[in-house]
Amino acid sequence: MKTDSTNSLQARVKATLEKVRPYLQADGGDIELVEVTDDFIVKVRLTGACHGCPFSMQTLKGGVEQTLIKEVPEIVEVVAV
């Protein structure tokens, strides 16, 4: 069962992803939250033009991950699944 703090963390992650989503959509891509693990790893799925793009890992680590860690300091890492 999810605790209130887990739900709050997931809500904060979702809100932050909504902030970066327009930048991805501007290039024909998108992102969806798959899971926030108990050890504070965010798993996401890159879709649209981002899926398979040679720059997707740079976008994920340099853009999405940095923004998430800044906004939600508990987050340790963001990985694509």
Domains in the chain: ranges and CATH:
4-80 (3.30.300.130)
Distance, in Å, from the CA atom of 68 to the CA atom of 76, rounded to the nearest integer, reads 9
| Amino acid 6: pLDDT | 67
Q: What is the pLDDT of residues 27-39, one digit of tens each?
A: 899 999 999 999 9
Structure tokens at 31: 């992102």
Q: What is the pLDDT of residues 57-66, one digit of tens each?
A: 898 999 999 9
Average pLDDT over residues 2-18: 85
The H or E element that residue 36 is part of is strand 29-36
